[in-house]
Structure 1
Amino acid sequence: MRLAVFLIFCFSTFSIAQIQNDSIDIYSQNFESSFNEMKYDLALISADKLFTFAKQKNESTAQDKAKVYKAKVYYKLKMFDQSISLIEEIIKKNYATKEEITNFLEANNILANIHYSKYEDDKAIAKYFYIDSISEANKFINDVQIRAMQNIGLMMLRGYNPANNKKYGKAKDYFKKAYELAKSSNSLTEMHVSGLYYGSTFVESENPEIETALKFYDDANKYFFENKIVKEFSDTYWAYASLYRKINRNDLATKYYKEFIEKSKTFNDNNALIRAYWAYASFLYEIKKYEEAIKNYNAVIQILKNEKNIDYSIISNSYYYLSDIYKSRNENDLAYQALENYVTYRDSLEQKTNNQLFSDLEIKYQTEKKEQEIELLKTKNELSEKQKYIYIAIAVLLLVSGLFLFLGYRNKIKTAQKLNELNELKSRFFANISHEFRTPLTLIKSPVQQLQNNISNEEQNKQLQLIDNSANRMLELVDQLLELSKIDSGKLQIILKKGNLQHFFHSIVEPFSFKAKDENQEFTSTIENLDFESHFDKDIITKITTNLLDNAFKYNEEGKPIDFVTKKENQNLIIQVRNFNNQLKEADYKKLFERFYQKDNAISGFGIGLALVKDLVELYNGTIKTNFNNQQISFTVEIPLKKDITNAIVINENIEVISETSTPIEVTSNTELPILLLVDDNASIREVIKDIFSSNYQILEASNGKEALKLAQKEIPDCIISDVMMPEMDGFEFTKQIKSNELTSFIPVILVTAKTSEEAHLKALQNTADAFLTKPFNHEVLKATVSQQIQERKKLQERYSQELILKPTEVVINSVDEKFITKLETVLETAIPNSEFNAETFAEEMHISRMQLHRKLKSLFGVSATEFIRNERLKMAADLLKNEKLSVSEIAYNVGFNDVGYFSKCFKEMYHVSPSDYQKK
């Protein structure tokens, strides 16, 4: 009862926490969306809602996040006082978690941006360096740190114009650091923004590296376009324009400057538009297109005059260049007026933006940092002096402890060696005794089965069935003991082969679905997210799954459901089996993996099935967990879906592994591959079998016996694999129909079924099935069975090819086939002398299509209809040459050859001697 209350409380707490997190995330997403679209009024509303919600839930970190959001909006609206007020509430707090550090850094970044906007460059750059140092101290790479490095680089370039030939060295270092930080943290947007800035330093340097810059530009442009990041996408046009300007491609530079202006107009950001007009005007001034340059400089001035915080450097430089243009055009009044404006705004420009200031600030920051390090080293030296004696004492103590540990370790090694020797002896004992068990068990089963057939007494038959079942159980335990001995001795290897997991599990689960119906149990199976190819050990996973399901069926409480679930999670395969057991308690399930665990004498033991499962899972580098709740017990297995597993052999998909008991099928082309017909109403089972045979066979598929019968009569396959339980027509009736039809009677039929009873096996053989296998089947056994059936048919073909005349009673073994051969013989006796007799006429006489005749003869005798006619003519000719006193030409005409030369050639190819030499023998 207490456990149930605790679980309910945990679940409720988790659910409430999840709902709160979802709400915070929704408000945050709404804010980011509105802010990125520059809908600042909506962004403020989202930030206020987040703050209210966080306050109700007493989430202090989320409240700070909402304040950061509002401060960002106020900064964009140039409401600096309101923004600073919110920032000061955040930065005076202590921070511990990553989320708290992020809020702290964001607040400092906004404050630095405000200083930058106010031309308080010393305060701005100090803040940016502070953000970088805090991030490094906490080993926490973040977008705020990356943007700080970008802003330092931009400050290095502030006030740049073509006249002052500014060097990009320092800026390049910071842009590079921003780019590398973004790349290492997989922050794609910031990586491409930094890449754009970093690329520009290769263009504007003393030795331009155009190809390097283009690589950064192209990558950024593609990313911004695909992700619809409008502002940064527009900045790439400026970058391209600057690059083409540098290499004197003025046509392309003009195109990209104009596109930069148009893109900047699409979003509500005057700073971007000012930069666009300014860049284009500077370019026009440089190439002496003064009329267009005047228009763009005036556009810059007009926008700046309407701004609350005027960028004095840009507006003063704009007037300076306008004055120079007017002077070159002898428009002295306009030149003088522009010069006056230049002087006015220049005097207003604070002198903190010159390059020397940045250098001094950087040196000052680095010097302070070095002084702190020196002071720290000094303190450490003092501490080390005091700690020297402590270390000596610790060293002596460690030496003594090490000696004791060494002696203990050596004893453990010896003990471990003895234990390993005992384990090896135990494994050998299990292996030897398991092999010895097989012979007496076989000797027990054989007479029991004979007695079952001879005794009609029902009570005695029940007792004999009990003996037989117990013998089968002992054989199963013997197999498990052998498997455990292989694991204990380290001889069991994992064989990883590629296959479809969904189809594979369908083939495993199907027999248990049948068993559930047969035993009137409720069984559900769920196979999720597994319809893909992966490398896995089919044998081990089959043993794990079947043992868990066998255990669930064996020990399930009557009337309760059994559930099976398998799926993929985080590159791992999850297998879960749930059933009900009212005899176990929570304390018992931890011992279920012990070999032959038995709770008490009243309850049957659990054998070694679960112990084998645990050992196989551990061999696979997986985990198995057990949960017991309200009498429901569940086993959850987690297995890695990867190739690099210890003790694993990977079989590549282009390598065909052939069983020692099977003979490979030799083919020369895809059209000559043997035809295999798969019949099963379960598409997944068909896919599993198809995967096994697709490389060496042509595959035909049918979902029931009725459909398969039509397909078999039309295509005449070389072999058929069929399920037993199917709609329309079951496997038994299908086999009977195949074997009773002269077109298909020779085709080997292999029945594969979930029915494991001997009655089912007997019925299959009574319906003339050639082989019978149970599900889940061993893939190599199935391949070997199919190969053996086809090879047996080939032996008959070879025997026919050595006969001089057609002898049906000696060639075939099936009475239906014998009738077909007799019919062939009757048609040939009258038709062979006719030289016009061919494959088409042959098919008409046999009352089947030419393709059916071709497939029948090919499968029965290994030759086509045309080859069959020719061979029969040559065999008849050989018989005549041996027994009749006729000339070679007369015999050739008598057996249907019009050309004696062609007859001699064909005869020599078949018998390796000429007709005349054959006659002389």
Structure 2
Amino acid sequence: MNKLCLLIVFHLPLINLQAQVNEVDSLIYELTQEHHDTTKIMMMYKLSTHEGLGSFSKSKEYALQALQKAKDISFEKGIGVSYYSLGNTYGLSYNLDSAIVYFNMANEIFERINYVKGEGNVLTGLGYAYMDKGDLGKAMEYALLALKKREKNNDLHNIAGSYVQLAIIFHEEYGFGDESIKTNEKKSLRYNLRALKIFKQINSEVNIGIVSTNIGANYSRLDMLDSCLHFYKQALAISTRLGNKYGMAIDNNNMGVVLKDFEEYDRALFYLKNADHLYVELNHPNGRLDPLRTISRIYGTMDQPYEGLKYAKEALKISRELNSAKQLMKSTFLIHSSFAQVDSFRQAYDMLTLYKNMSDSIYDNKRDEQMREQELAYNVEKKEQQIIDLERSNELAQLRRNILIGSLLAIVLIAFLLYNQQRLKSKRNQLLFEKEQEVDRMKSKFFANISHEFRTPLTLLMGPIDHLTEISNDPRQLHFLDMMKRNTSRLLNQVNQLLDLSKLDAGQLKLKVVKIDPVPFIKGIVMSFETLASNQEVNLSFLHNNEISDFYADQDAVEKIVANLLSNALKFTPSKGIIKVEITNIESSELLAKSVAALELIVTDSGIGVDEELQKHIFDRYYHTDSDLQASTGIGLALVKELVDSHFGIIRVDSQKGKGSTFTIHLPTGKNHWKNININESQEQVETMGLSISSERSTKSPLMMEEVKISNNPSILIIENNEDVRYFISEILKNQFQTLVASDGMQGIEKAQDKLPDLIITDIMMPGLDGYEVTKQLKSNIKTSHIPVIMLTAKVGLKNKLLGLETEADEYMTKPFSASELIARVNNLISSRTKLREQFREAITMGPNRITVTSIDAEFVNKVKSLIELNMADTNLSVEFLGDQIGMSRSQIYRKLHAITGFSPNQLIRELRLVRAMDLLKNNSGTVSEIAYMVGFNTPNYFNTCFNKKYGTPPGEVKKQHSL
């Protein structure tokens, strides 16, 4: 299919010159009457392009006559277009080296006479020639050069032609891996849609048909078969209406290929054989290759391998005559498969060896990178032009500034009028604030009492964990012990923070103020976070002014301030992000009330940021934003604020959603503000403890390196943003199942649609899409609706459980959970789904409406089965008909039916036809041939093959046994 799309667009700049026979005859007559040599030459050139679409020898003859005539009178443009026409002729006859020589000769002349349109056409021809040679890097280079020429000339028709050529190159370039293939195909589709828009704008019907063919090929590779079939039908209708045999040949071939994908083999063979006959009429052996190869594959699928081998041999013969390495490679692999099907294993092995040698010599692993570099160079040039255009709009910018100044003056006037009303509102807010503070104090007192009770059991936990870590040599046990220690330390850190807050409220937190050299002290704290930042692939840096001195503070308090800010930044900064810590000596602080000298501490991150409305609550105790997914106590930043206040300092946050946050702290230097407090002048530096580091991961778990894959075992997708929990669940399940992991809801949905696991386990609280939305989308998607889902959450209570089940989750488990319970629930769900599918498959081949399961899926299968049984005798019974009756598209009904029963629509039709045939044979309801037609088979031979394959005995034997 891919090659066919390329052939029809090869002459895209010339395709509108294609005329019917009467136009060709008119040109020949005008040529005999014309007396001006230059006009005669251009008419011969036009005839060459016309005849070239049907007879390469005539095209070459007219091009050579034009060339000789142009040389006789030294008509350079005529010489150039003649060379160009010869290049096209040799390109279409697959003599690519000669085509490139003539194209280059034409380009030299066009550059010399500054014929821009001709240069664009020649560069396009060179692009197609190199593409046929398999050098897609060169092809991309020439295609982009042609596009730049045509954009400069504002030639809409040929700009569209260049878009189509770029689309074909990306369609031909498979890349490396599924993602690269999809990326290239989406680029191809984007260029084709640009071309289609232009052709519709200039009302070029023939080119609308061509691009429709190519768009169909894009949708086919992207597995969007409904859209694919729509565009192929549209293209075939246009080419048939215009009498364009080349277009008809290509479109028939494409229809055959997509119908083959839907297993409608009889209809597929009809279209493919039509395509082959048209290419024979056009004397176009290269065009025959795709239909011949596809016909061969279909016969192989229909258990007619010798018929398939016949078509494969014909394709190989043509490929050898054309001497095309790429086509020969495709045909060699096909005939290898055909020989294997007829048990000619020696010949199959020889062909496979030949295919491998050709494949290694053709593909160059660097060409994908070369293509990207060429496209990038073009896009950069376009971006520079956009910048120039923006600079020209400075006058508009000045006008906008004037309007803005006027608006600001109006705002000031309105603000003054609202001042009195705002003052009253402020008084009411003050009363509310005082009440909130009282509630916070009560919370802190309550949590402080509980925290004291927590410290003893936490201590008893940490001691045994440390002891087991020292005596264990098992890497798996050590990883679990490390996980336990981190999370126990994290809990202890939260308890200590609660106690600090309660002491601050009660005025019992005693500050030990000493003289500190802030550069080495804060640098030590920052360095203790370097491993954690490195593991999260975050760039952490520290900048300072060495002249900072005369700074007095409580070392423990400063450490907690810096550590909490860094911990918070790391929590919300994604991979590849940046965190920067800066300290500077400020002679006059604009934040402090008396504008005194201060130490400025700035922590900047490129994380998710905070909405402006939420920033005023960010230092409130027990406050959570929607993005705070770690279920923390909500006291980290509140404690930072209290400690900064205790040092007579100011903290400010500047943040923008999606662009990161900056925390700025000014702490006064000197010691005049420390009244009634004993100060130690000896600069006793204590070793930093890294309090917040213990609450986060310092090493990567094995799960981050690879997913667990065990062949033939059911697959489980784990969607969980906490890496420790992901690892724990995977370790629980890995001995019985394949495990796939996703770190957020969007990634989980993409993996579910791509991998189609047997079961999904999802957390509820996750960044982006939460578990409720993930489950809702999975259950509403026709592709994934059948997959059972288990929801895990730390939220307890009947209300939350009901909300999970309302989203159609199959199970709902609260954290912490038992490993044995999780395994049991997973096994039960997979077992029940397997039994349900077996029940469906068994019921399929029984009598009408024997499926008794009262579910939506059962109703769907019963309806499909009834439609098939009512229309069984119709040989044209198709997937489209079933879809129209049920109200679903072709691809929807295909995926839905296969997910529930394991049958594709065509397999189900064939299965039910064979079941009905068995009943008719047993009841002696006619001859074998009559029964074959009664149940909808086109030919008795194909019926015999399918019947024997299902029941292991010919239909004639069954009839004979029941006739006795």
Q: What is the TM-score with the length of structure 2 in the denominator?
A: 0.34
Q: What is the TM-score with the length of structure 1 in the denominator?
A: 0.35
